[in-house]
Chains A and B, each alone.
Chain A
Amino acid sequence: MKYYTYSKNKIVPYLFIAPQILVTILFFIWPSMMAVWQSVQEGDPFGISSEWAYIYNFKDVFLSKSYLHSLWITLLYGLFVSVFATVFGLILALLVCRVKRFAYIYKILLIWPYAVAPVIAAVLFRFLLNPAIGILTEFFSLFGYEWNYHLNQWDAFWIVVVSAVWQQISYNFLFFLVGLRSIPKSLLEAASIDGASNFQRFFHITLPLLSPTTFFLIVMNLIYSFFDTFGIIHIITQGGPSNSTNILVYKVFNDGFVGLDIGVSAAQSVILMLIVTSCVLLQFKYVEKKVHYS
C-alpha cells in the first residue's frame, strides 16, 4: 500500500507521532517493563538496593492464602459486574428503543453516569448506603435488615458491585442502543409475518444479531471490573472488611504502596496482566466463534 504524502520529508511524520509514542512509552511500556523487572527482584522498601529473587516472589504469591482469596473474590466480582452491566444495559436499550416520546431525555439520563468520575460515584454510594445516615440503609431496616458494609463482608461486596455496575451500565447501554438501531426493521417484520412472537423475535433475531456488540462489551466489562474499579474500591471499602473486596488490582496497590513489598506486588501485577490477557484470548478463541459478523 502506498501512503498519501504531501512531502518527501522522512522526519516530519515521526515528529507527528512522537508525542503519542512518548506518552505510551513513558506511562505504559516502561512501567510494565519495570514491573516485570521488579517481579524478579527483592528490594528494600526504600528502593535503594535490590537483589535477584528469581521466582521466589511468584512462589510467595501463590503460597499466600490471601492472594488466592483475592483471586476468588476478583473472579466473582468480575463475573457479577460483567453480567449485570451487560444485562441491564441491554434491557434499558431495548426499553428506550420502544419509547416513542421523549426518548432523548431517557438517553441523556442513562448515559449520564458514565460522565461521573468513579471517585464521585463511589462517594455517592457511600452516602446512599452509609450504615448511619444512608437513605437506603434506612429502607433496608424497614425489612429488618441491618445493612453495614463496614462489618458485613457480603454487604461490602455488593456495594462495590452495585457502584461499578451503575457506572458501567451507561457504556453498555450506549453500545446496545447503536447495535439495536443497526438491525434492519424489516428483519423483525419478516419474523413477525413468519409467526414469531415478541420473545421469539428477540431470542431468534435480535440477540444473535447483537452478538458482536455483546462480545465486545463482555470483554470490555471484564477489563473494566478487573482494573478500572480501583477508585470505587479505594473510596468505599479499601479492600475490607477482612479482605472481602480486596480484588487483585487493589491488592497490588496495597502490598506495593502500603505494605512496601515491591517485589511481591510487581509479581502480582505481572500475574494479573497474564490473567486478563488469557481471559481475553480465551474469549476470542471460543466465544467469538459463536459471534455473527454481518
Chain B
Amino acid sequence: MATLELRNVTKKFKSDIVLDDINLEIAKGELGVLVGPSGCGKSTLLRMIAGLEPITSGDIKLNNKVINKKEPKDRDIAMVFQNYALYPHMTVFENMAYGLRIQKYKKAEILKRVDKAAEILELSSYLYKTPGELSGGQRQRVAMGRAIVRQPAVFLFDEPLSNLDSHLKVQMRREIKRLHRELGVTILYVTHDQTEAMTLAEKLIVFNKGRIEQISSPIGIYENPASIFVGSFIGYPSMNFLKGKIKNNKFVISDNELLDVNAETSNSVEDVVIGFRPENIYLNNDDYINENSLKLKVDEIELLGSDVLIYTNVEGVLENNKIILRMHKLLDLKYQDIISVNIPKKHIHIFDTNTGKSI
C-alpha cells in the first residue's frame, strides 16, 4: 500500500501544461527521488503535494485519503526548503518547536520531541542559537529537525543540498540516508543532481518537461534507460550516442557497417540512436581483435585521478561521431592516435530517433 499516491495529476498555468498526467506511488518508508533538469516541473509537483500550489486536475492521496483540497497544515506533511526557510528571529529550539506549539502540544511533549530530534541531528549544543549564527550544514539540519519533530506521514525535500559546498553535500547526503534508515520515514526528495539522486534513491523518478520519463530502482535506470533523455541525464560522463540505421542486426551509419546489435524488432529499423556508457567500451588487444569493434581517433585526454576520460571521434564518420571512453589506467596515447575498441552487444541500447524511447 502506498503512503503517497499521485493519480493523473496535471497542472496548467493558463494554457501552458506544466505537469502532464503524473502517476506515482511512494510506499511507506520508501525514499523516492525525483530528478530532472531545472524547470522540468519537479519542484512544482512537490509544492502541489505540500499544498502550496493548487492542482488543475487529478488526485493526490496520502494514506488512501485524497488531500487535494486540504490546507497545507491539514495534510500531515513536512517540507524542507532549498533555502531552509528557518525563522531568523527564533532560536533553533523555537524553530523546531514552532509547529508543535501552534498545534497546542503539551510543553513536556514539545521538549521531549525537540530534544530527541536535536540529539539525532547533533544539534543539542546549538538549541539556543539563532539561525544566523549557524553554518550552512547546521541550518540544513535544523530544517530537517523542524520536519522530524512533527512526525508527519511524508517528508518532502526540495533540493535541500543545493546551497551547500560539495564536501558538505556528500556529508549531508549520508546523513539523510542515515536518518531515513533510523527513522524509517517516507520521503519524497527533489533534486537536479543525478549523483545525489543515484546515491539516495530507493525509487528513482526521472522527470523531463513535466512528464515522468522513467520510474525504477537507480541501478535499473542506469542499466536500462527507457529513453535517450534518461540515458544522457543519468550517469557522468553521459552516455554516448550514435545516430544511424539498423540493417540485419547491424548498426549502420551512411553505409558503414559499424556494430552488431541485438535488435529484437524487425530486421531493418530506420532512424535509430544507439547508446552505450563510457565505461562499457573496452580496448582491443593488438594481437586479438574482438568482433564488435570500432576504430576511434583520440581527440582529448582528461586525467581524473582514478579514471581517465578519452574523448574520441569515430573514424570514417563525419557527424555525430563523438565518443567518450572511461578507462581505469593511464594509457600511452596521444592526440590523433587511432585506437581499436569493442563494445559488447549487451551494453548497446537502441532508441527510436523520433520518440526518443527505447526499442
Tell me the A residues contacting B by CB distance below 8 Å. Answer: 184, 186-187, 189-197, 200, 204-205, 208-209, 211, 292, 294
Complex interface bits, B147-173 against A, C-beta within 8 A gives 1, otherwise 0: 000100000000000000000000000
In the assembled complex, how far is the CB of residue B199 from the closest CB belonging to chain A, in whole angstroms? 26
In the assembled complex, how far is the CB of residue B68 from the closest CB belonging to chain A, in whole angstroms? 16
Tell me the B residues contacting A by CB distance below 8 Å. Answer: 50-52, 71-73, 77-79, 81-83, 85-89, 98-99, 102-103, 132, 146, 150
19 of the cross-chain contacts (CB-CB < 8 Å) are A186-B85, A189-B79, A189-B85, A190-B87, A192-B52, A192-B71, A192-B73, A193-B50, A193-B72, A193-B73, A193-B79, A193-B99, A194-B99, A195-B99, A196-B98, A197-B73, A200-B102, A209-B88, A292-B88
Q: Write the chain B residue with the least CB distance to A292.
A: B89
B-chain residues with CB within 8 Å of residue A189 when the two chains form the complex: 50, 52, 72, 79, 81, 85
Taking A189-B50, A189-B81 as given, write out 9 further A-B residue pairs in contact, using a Cβ cutoff of 8 Å, ordered by the A residue number: A184-B85, A186-B83, A187-B87, A192-B72, A193-B50, A194-B73, A194-B102, A195-B99, A294-B132
**When the two chains form their complex, are residues B79 and A190 in contact, meaning their CB atoms are under 8 A apart?**
yes
**When the two chains form their complex, are residues A196 and B79 in contact, meaning their CB atoms are under 8 A apart?**
no
By Cβ-Cβ distance, the 8 closest A-B pairs, closest first, are: A194-B99, A195-B73, A190-B85, A186-B85, A292-B89, A208-B89, A195-B102, A193-B72
Q: In whole angstroms, what is the CA distance A59 to B208 when docked?
A: 82
Q: In whole angstroms, what is the CA distance A205 to B146 when docked?
A: 16
In the assembled complex, how far is the CB of residue B80 from the closest CB belonging to chain A, in whole angstroms? 9
Q: Write the chain B residue with the least CB distance to A291.
A: B89
**When the two chains form their complex, are residues B98 and A191 in contact, meaning their CB atoms are under 8 A apart?**
yes
In the assembled complex, how far is the CB of residue A196 from the closest CB belonging to chain B, in whole angstroms? 5
Q: In whole angstroms, what is the CA distance A195 to B98 when docked?
A: 9
**When the two chains form their complex, are residues A194 and B146 in contact, meaning their CB atoms are under 8 A apart?**
yes
Q: Which of A193, A197, A205, A211 sits near B87, CB closer than 8 Å? A: A205
In the assembled complex, how far is the CB of residue A287 from the closest CB belonging to chain B, in whole angstroms? 15
Q: In whole angstroms, what is the CA distance A293 to B332 when docked?
A: 61
Q: In whole angstroms, what is the CA distance A204 to B90 when docked?
A: 10
Q: In whole angstroms, what is the CA distance A191 to B50 when docked?
A: 12
B-chain residues with CB within 8 Å of residue A192 when the two chains form the complex: 52, 71-73
**When the two chains form their complex, are residues B81 and A186 in contact, meaning their CB atoms are under 8 A apart?**
yes
**When the two chains form their complex, are residues A184 and B83 in contact, meaning their CB atoms are under 8 A apart?**
yes
B-chain residues with CB within 8 Å of residue A209 when the two chains form the complex: 88-89
